[in-house]
Amino acid sequence: MLVVGLCGYALGMPAGRGADFDAVLIFLFGLYCLSAGSLALNQVQEVGLDKKMDRTKKRPVVSGVFSKFQASILSVALILIGLLFLLVLNWRSAAAGLLTVVLYNVVYTYFWKRKWAFGAVPGAVPGALPPAIGYLAHEGAAVSDPQLFYLFGVLFLWQMPHFWILAIKLKKDYAKGGVPVLPLAVGDVQTRFHMGLYLFAYLGLAVAAPLYVSSGFISAGIIWVFALLVLATFFRYLKNTDKWLLFFLTLNISILVFSLVPAVSVVRYYL
């Protein structure tokens, strides 16, 4: 979250003005507190669910390291501190942060995740908002700017193949928790089909980065190479599903490349 949030901050910088490092530190601390508080609150909200699943039953609240009361106080305090630091920058960045928390900790946690097999799709919206929190920290930046559309879009589309490949591997655990993930609803084959749809859209937007971000030929070349690499590992995974880890790791590296390369290119151009 911090890395993609910082990419959003970098892409939103006004041309030629240079970086205000005090503002960068304020933003990073605010986003860190906000994300840490949101994740901690999620553990309080889902303690009953986490007890049922092997991969989550050792989390601090479930295991008793923190009581629900202690974790609640800590999480709310972190969220408020994060929002206050973002508010120092401007109200739009803080508003985007608040929207992220509401969508994740209320709408996704209580409704989309628990009631809908395709809950990961709208649930990807709060996961894709950190770049907007950073981008909107600058006066004059607008939600309609193509740079923000690009960052939000690649992060949104990336989350479906990222989550669904894990859901396939952990579907028995999700079944224990009663979470209706896509593989339990439609099966592994159909889940991989949907993964492919979002993956192609993700890679298509990534290779179109120069249309949205003022990056150079070198940046575009790096993105194209990684896009082809992700595609190759995906087809290898389809042929042999035991090779899922290579595709998963390549996919995760790609989102860093697709976010960082345009951001670094633009910062170099502006400075």
Nearest Cα neighbor of 152 from 133, 121, 136, 131 is: 131
CATH number at residue 55: 1.10.600
* pLDDT score recorded for residue 10: 87
Tens of pLDDT, residue by residue, the chain (271 residues): 789 998 889 888 876 666 678 889 999 999 999 999 999 999 999 998 889 988 888 899 998 888 999 999 999 999 999 999 999 999 999 999 999 999 999 999 999 999 999 999 999 999 999 999 999 998 888 888 999 999 999 999 999 999 999 999 999 999 998 999 999 999 999 999 999 999 999 999 999 998 888 767 778 899 999 999 999 999 999 999 998 999 999 999 999 999 998 887 766 555 5
* pLDDT score recorded for residue 81: 98
For the chain, helix, strand, coil in percent to 5 are 80, 0, 20
Distance CA 117, CA 113 (A): 8
* pLDDT score recorded for residue 257: 94
Q: Which amino acid belongs to residue 249?
A: L
Q: What is the CA radius of gyration of the chain?
A: 19
Specify the number of domains making up the chain: 1
Domain that holds residue 186: 2-270
Q: Indicate the DSSP class of residue 180.
A: -
What's the CA angle centered on 196, arms 194 and 199, to 5 degrees?
A: 115
Tokens of 167: 């859901």
Reading phi first (left if > 0) and then psi (alpha if -120 to 50, else beta), residue 164 is in alpha
Tokens of 134: 């950073």
| Number of C-beta neighbours around residue 24 at 10 A | 16
Strands (E), 88-222: none
Distance CA 30, CA 91 (A): 13
